[in-house]
Amino acid sequence: MTDAQPPGNSSPTPNAKSTPETVSTPNPVTIPATLSTWAGITWRVLVVLAGFVAIFYVMGLVSTVLIALFLGAFFTALASPIRNVFAKVMPRPLALITSIITIAVAIAVVLFVVVSSIINQGPALAKSVNSAFSEIQTWTQGPPLNLTNDDFTKYVADIEKWIVSALESFAVGTVSSIGELVIGGSVLIFAVIFFMSSPQRIWNFVVSWMPTRAQKHVDVSGQLAWDSLSGYTRGVVVVALADSLLVFIGLVILQVPLAPALAAIVFFGAFIPVIGAPIATFFAAIIALAERGPLIALLVVVLTVIVGSFDGDVLQPLVMGKAVSLHPLAIILLIAIGSITLGIIGALVAVPIGAAIYRVAKYLTNRDPEYPFLMTKPAG
């Protein structure tokens, strides 16, 4: 008799073949190669942007010192050629002191002439501006604009608010306290003295802290950046003087009143490349409209176009050369970005800094035929 298996015992017989259970696994998700590549680029770009944000934040905390150093470099670029001339006929320390005094006196004289001209003719200038706006308001009430008095007043108020805001940001954003003024002035004075007395020693100290393999490229990059900055500094002063002189001559020929004050405004405006002088000259057209009529105002607008073309096509390429080898559109974008981030100060420093960075970038990407980028082997 065969023993019956207990209930529930369903163990297979030894000869029975066991079939392994098949476990179903989901198909792995395949990420397109293009998406993976762009994702990698995106997060790397975000990391770089975060680094720039951190750098700009730190720079904002010490902006007074950085502005003082930049002005010191600006002053040094102006005074260095004069020091080299004086050094041929007198000892080098005396040439250093004489060149600093000469540039300081020259800047003071120019500022005195410009500011005194604006102050002396300020009331008449304000009266002419008011008369000009009255005429413009009368003209805008007709076709095609058909503006009401309230609309025109609102637009004028918006313009005045923008100008006041820009001037306040310049005054408050540059130096917000007496302490910062003292600190910035002290840094400026000592920076000029040491930049002119021992520039190579300072730069060699900076380069010595770089990795050995990168020291040559850091050295060349720094020299190219300085060449660009110093060339721009000397060039922009020459361009500003030339633009203001041309505008002054043109306004005198057209018999537009307040020509000295308007030329002074153009002088300051020319420190913002490409657009500064034409905008300042266009301001003279408003005065001409009030004092000399529409025809003379139209001729002043033509003068604005001529000065802008002469500035951008002749003066800047001739005087600055490679110092600002940027396309006019790039210059305008730099000025816009600088003014948005740092106000008037940003508009003034954006172009020289951008030109210096562009010059260094050309070298580092081996696009500068005069300075080929050659990889150096590490020492040893």
* Separation between Cα atoms, residue 191 and residue 70, nearest integer Å: 9
Q: Where are the domains of the chain?
A: 52-364
Could you tell me the two tokens for 82?
Answer: 């004069």
Angle at 92 between CA 204 and CA 109, to 5 degrees: 100
Give the model's pLDDT for residue 380. 38
Give the model's pLDDT for residue 379. 41
Burial class (CB in 10 A: 0-12, 13-18, 19+), 342: buried
Residue with tokens 């306040």: 168
Cα atoms in the Cβ-side hemisphere of radius 13 Å centred on 292 = 20
Give the model's pLDDT for residue 309. 77
Give the model's pLDDT for residue 377. 46
Give the model's pLDDT for residue 45. 92
Give the model's pLDDT for residue 378. 41
Give the model's pLDDT for residue 376. 47
Give the model's pLDDT for residue 288. 80
Give the model's pLDDT for residue 42. 93
Burial class (CB in 10 A: 0-12, 13-18, 19+), 4: exposed
The torsion of the CA quartet 186, 189, 191, 195, rounded to 10 degrees, works out to: -170
Query: How far are the Cα atoms of 9, 37, 40, 42, 67 from residue 33, in angstroms, in the given order?
Result: 55, 6, 11, 14, 47
Give the model's pLDDT for residue 12. 52
Could you tell me the two tokens for 166?
Answer: 């820009």
* Separation between Cα atoms, residue 148 and residue 74, nearest integer Å: 48
Is residue 270 within 8 Å of residue 277, measured between CB atoms? yes
The DSSP-derived string for 313-326 is IIIIIIIIGGGG--
pLDDT in tens, the chain (380 residues): 445 455 555 555 555 455 555 555 566 667 788 888 898 899 999 999 999 889 888 887 887 888 888 888 888 888 888 888 888 888 888 888 888 888 888 878 877 876 776 677 667 666 766 776 676 767 777 676 666 777 667 766 776 666 666 555 555 544 556 777 788 888 888 888 888 888 888 888 989 898 888 888 888 888 888 888 888 888 888 888 888 888 888 888 888 877 887 888 888 888 887 777 777 777 788 778 777 778 888 888 888 888 777 776 777 667 666 666 777 778 888 888 887 777 777 778 888 888 888 888 888 888 877 777 765 444 43
Cα atoms in the Cβ-side hemisphere of radius 13 Å centred on 2 = 3
Give the model's pLDDT for residue 137. 67
Peptide bond between residue 26 and the one before it cis (omega within 30 degrees of 0)? no
pTM: 0.68
Q: Which residues are CB-neighbours of 219 under 8 A, at least 6 positions away?
A: 203, 207
Is residue 277 within 8 Å of residue 341, measured between CB atoms? no
H helix and E strand count, the chain: 12, 0
Give the model's pLDDT for residue 46. 93
Cα atoms in the Cβ-side hemisphere of radius 13 Å centred on 20 = 3
Which sign, positive or negative, has the C-alpha torsion 243, 342, 355, 185? positive
Could you tell me the two tokens for 321?
Answer: 């050369």
Is residue 349 within 8 Å of residue 70, measured between CB atoms? yes
